[in-house]
Chains A and B, each alone.
Chain A
Amino acid sequence: MSDVDREVADLKGPAAIPRRNGELVFQRPWEGRAFGMAIALRDSHRFGWGAFRDRLEGEIGAAGPQDDGTRYYERWLAAFEHLLIDEGLISLEELEHRADEYRQGVREEVF
């Protein structure tokens, strides 16, 4: 178990990862992909965990107290996108263009 695994497991309060009976809960496949991407990129030291955690907490905080946690990975994905853009790993333009391609069915491969 690496240090970052422990940090991820130790996310506190509303930023804590959704669990059921101690196990991770992904309501949709994309949530698992979003989760895995952020950790995989952190594992290759592309950014520090704190930089991601701060953005995640920011997104959850911005969603407000009425947020019931069912949209946790929506916040996670938004935090991850912002981090990637801030770190210059991808640009906002290419992200939006690529997302449009998927929405419109121009691009269809899935992972």
Chain B
Amino acid sequence: MSHEHPHQHGHAELSDLEARALAVESLLVEKGLITSDAVDRVVYRFEHDIGPMVGAKVVARAWTDTAFKARLLADGTAAIAELGIDSQDLHLEVVENRPGIHNLVVCTLCSCYPWFLLGLPPVWYKSAPYRSRAVIEPRAVLHEFGVDQPDETQIKVWDSSADLRYMVLPERPAGTEGWPEERLAALVSRDAMIGTAVVAISEAVTP
């Protein structure tokens, strides 16, 4: 969410709280302690990243703890509950990417999504073209997301429902041996957990 920089507010009445928040921001900007752009960036970052971060934590745990990974794949709902994540009465199934198999999550009927792990779904996830094409031509859809899988790799498409939600467990990138969980989690994007991206080390440098 962006906004115009300082502009005339007109004659609308300000609430006491609005006035105080404006007073603080204007003073901090004048003193050179913050910029309004920095505030914008923080809000953007949190609006877009906080949800997916929960899922990324789960992925990183699965990468570093094979027993947890086995439990996660056997019963996703119970495994994330171990980490204190409440699936809100929805059933979670985690599908694992591995050599020869790439998973892709869709909801063909509406926009069912594991929001307790990934926040709100991106706009394209709810779009009619994605919902229909992910099933009909998943390879073409993946190509448009910049994911090209070799012909011999099987693409499995998982259709979410009102009470069953899927999350992709992406493949851990090579070159991350010995990394701590937190560092691994920072690599995992929302799209990787939907299946429209793969995890690469270079993702760490782009916010």
User: A15 near B: Cβ within 8 Å?
Assistant: no
User: A63 near B: Cβ within 8 Å?
Assistant: no
**1/0 per position for B34-72, CB-CB distance to A under 8 A?**
111011111101110111011010000000000000000
How many B residues face the partner with a CB closer than 8 A? 54
- Among the listed B21, B54, B118, which residue makes an inter-chain contact with A33, where contact means beta carbons less than 8 Å apart? B21
Q: Is there an interface contact between B53 and A109, defined as CB atoms closer than 8 Å?
A: no
Q: Is there an interface contact between A77 and B20, defined as CB atoms closer than 8 Å?
A: yes
Q: Is there an interface contact between A6 and B8, defined as CB atoms closer than 8 Å?
A: no
Chain B residue numbers with a CB within 8 Å of A28 are 17-18
Q: Is there an interface contact between B42 and A98, defined as CB atoms closer than 8 Å?
A: no
User: A51 near B: Cβ within 8 Å?
Assistant: no
User: B200 near A: Cβ within 8 Å?
Assistant: no
Q: Is there an interface contact between B5 and A111, defined as CB atoms closer than 8 Å?
A: yes
**1/0 per position for A15-50, CB-CB distance to B under 8 A?**
000010111100011111111110111011010000
Chain A residue numbers with a CB within 8 Å of B15 are 30
Within B23-39, the residues touching A (CB, 8 Å) are 23-29, 31, 33-36, 38-39
Chain B residue numbers with a CB within 8 Å of A105 are 11, 14
Chain B residue numbers with a CB within 8 Å of A73 are 17
Q: Helix, strand, loop or mixed for chain B's interface? A: helix
Q: Is there an interface contact between A110 and B22, defined as CB atoms closer than 8 Å?
A: yes
Q: Is there an interface contact between B17 and A41, defined as CB atoms closer than 8 Å?
A: no
* Assembled-state Cα–Cα distance A5/B115 (Å): 19
Q: Is there an interface contact between A22 and B118, defined as CB atoms closer than 8 Å?
A: yes
* Assembled-state Cα–Cα distance A103/B38 (Å): 25
- Among the listed A23, A89, A95, which residue makes an inter-chain contact with B50, where contact means beta carbons less than 8 Å apart? A23
**1/0 per position for B170-196, CB-CB distance to A under 8 A?**
000000000000100110000000000
Q: Is there an interface contact between A23 and B21, defined as CB atoms closer than 8 Å?
A: no
Min Cβ gap B41→A in Å is 8
Q: Which residue of chain A has its CB nearest to the CB of B113?
A: A21
User: A81 near B: Cβ within 8 Å?
Assistant: yes
Min Cβ gap B82→A in Å is 17
Chain A residue numbers with a CB within 8 Å of B40 are 36
Chain A residue numbers with a CB within 8 Å of B50 are 5, 9, 19, 22-24
- Among the listed B1, B5, B33, which residue makes an inter-chain contact with A41, where contact means beta carbons less than 8 Å apart? B33
* Assembled-state Cα–Cα distance A10/B192 (Å): 23
* Assembled-state Cα–Cα distance A28/B15 (Å): 11
| A-B pairs with beta carbons under 8 Å apart, 29 shown | A1-B56, A1-B186, A5-B53, A21-B120, A22-B119, A23-B119, A30-B18, A30-B22, A32-B43, A33-B43, A36-B39, A37-B25, A37-B39, A39-B42, A43-B42, A80-B24, A84-B28, A89-B28, A95-B23, A99-B20, A102-B18, A102-B23, A105-B14, A109-B26, A110-B6, A111-B6, A111-B22, A111-B26, A111-B39
